[in-house]
């Protein structure tokens, strides 16, 4: 495995930003950035062996700060939404920044995705570390977070996320990469086929906070149990799809068992023949069809991204879990280790 590191820029506070390129023997490679421990590029072959980048991203390091899509990065301390920016833990109420309608999203405007993480090459892997101080964005506890990426000869990118705290807190981490398997500048992703290992989803209110109990996907546009084009039902007369102008919903992974890897999703590019399988130890997956990509920074090949040009498939815990005791817990206590894995496995 060939790993190189270069200085990519500097943050507003002067901290150096590094870009890592990890290339396997076949020439397929990934690029990773210390901004938000982010995935910048994944370059893999199509059915004819032609290499192309299959994740959207930007030309300049600076564009990754405070971008609306949270492109390719690790949001935190809590990925997804928390209702009204409030939660109670051990009898104490905590207040978080409001940055998505009335709710808290992805750790707030100064979440982990907008921080420059410490970074290093560790054997055949690249490792990023961020230390979140007690009280940062309103969260309790000093939290040490590590994102450990390994790129395989089999064109699989493995991400292991770990965290430890010195006070009870909440943690929900994911990666927010957006995929277009026909190439990042190839246009709409709505003809891609998507299959989810999920027979239930979480209906939400108009602000996209789960109402509570899951519902079956069967007989609704939320049904991806058998592969279908992403755009097949996206304009259906269905309230959930109208709320977010497309899919931006949490699906519960069938047969979830803590610590056990399971397939969350599979995605197929109709032109390239590329196939992506996503496996995870997490209980849920948020599917977001890039409904608001217009106006984000210029793409890395100079293309202005349009809505629905890529799909994010975010393995995580359910939104608003701290306020929903019936959901799998996101509480982390001193002496415990948060550890979750996500694998992006590519073939054609």
**Residues labelled as active-site residues:** 176, 314
CA dist list (Å): 348 to 44, 45, 155: 9, 7, 11
Q: Are 266 and 275 in contact (CB under 8 A)?
A: yes
CB atoms within 10 A of CB 117: 24
Give the span between the Cα atoms of 21 and 4, in whole angstroms: 5
Burial class (CB in 10 A: 0-12, 13-18, 19+), 12: exposed
Q: Are 140 and 94 in contact (CB under 8 A)?
A: yes
CA dist list (Å): 99 to 66, 315, 321: 12, 22, 18
3-state SS class at 83:
helix
In the chain, where does DSSP find H-type helix? 239-244
Q: Are 130 and 112 in contact (CB under 8 A)?
A: yes
Q: Are 169 and 331 in contact (CB under 8 A)?
A: yes
């Amino acid at each position: 495995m060939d790993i190189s590191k270069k200085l990519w820029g500097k943050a507003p506070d002067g901290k150096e930003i590094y870009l890592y390129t990890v290339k396997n023997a076949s020439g397929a490679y990934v690029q990773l950035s210390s901004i938000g421990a982010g995935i910048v590029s994944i370059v893999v072959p199509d059915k004819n062996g032609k290499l192309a980048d299959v994740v959207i991203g930007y030309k300049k390091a600076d564009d990754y700060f405070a971008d609306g899509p949270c492109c390719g990065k690790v949001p935190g301390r809590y990925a997804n939404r928390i209702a009204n920016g409030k939660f109670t833990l051990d009898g104490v109420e905590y207040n978080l920044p409001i940055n998505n309608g009335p709710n808290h999203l992805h750790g707030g405007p100064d979440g982990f995705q907008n921080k420059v993480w410490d970074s290093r090459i560790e054997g055949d892997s690249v490792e990023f570390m961020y230390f979140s101080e007690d009280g940062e964005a309103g969260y309790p506890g000093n939290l040490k977070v590590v994102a450990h990426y390994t790129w395989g000869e089999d064109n699989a990118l493995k991400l292991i996320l770990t965290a430890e705290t010195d006070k009870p807190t909440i943690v929900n981490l994911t990666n927010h990469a957006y995929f277009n398997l026909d190439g990042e500048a190839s246009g709409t992703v709505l003809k891609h086929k998507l299959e989810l290992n999920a027979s239930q989803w979480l209906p939400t209110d108009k602000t996209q906070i789960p109402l509570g109990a899951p519902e079956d996907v069967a007989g609704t546009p939320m049904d991806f149990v058998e592969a279908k084009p992403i755009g097949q039902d996206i304009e259906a007369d269905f309230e959930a799809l109208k709320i977010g102008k497309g899919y931006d919903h949490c699906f519960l992974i069938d047969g979830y068992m803590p610590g056990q890897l399971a397939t969350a999703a599979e995605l197929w590019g109709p032109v390239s023949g590329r196939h992506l399988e996503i496996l995870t130890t997490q209980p849920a997956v948020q599917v977001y069809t890039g409904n608001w990509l217009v106006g984000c920074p210029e793409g890395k090949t100079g293309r202005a991204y349009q809505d629905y040009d890529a799909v994010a498939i975010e393995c995580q815990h359910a939104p608003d879990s701290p306020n929903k005791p019936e959901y799998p817990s996101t509480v982390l206590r001193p002496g415990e280790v948060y550890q979750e894995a996500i694998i992006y496995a590519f073939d054609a």
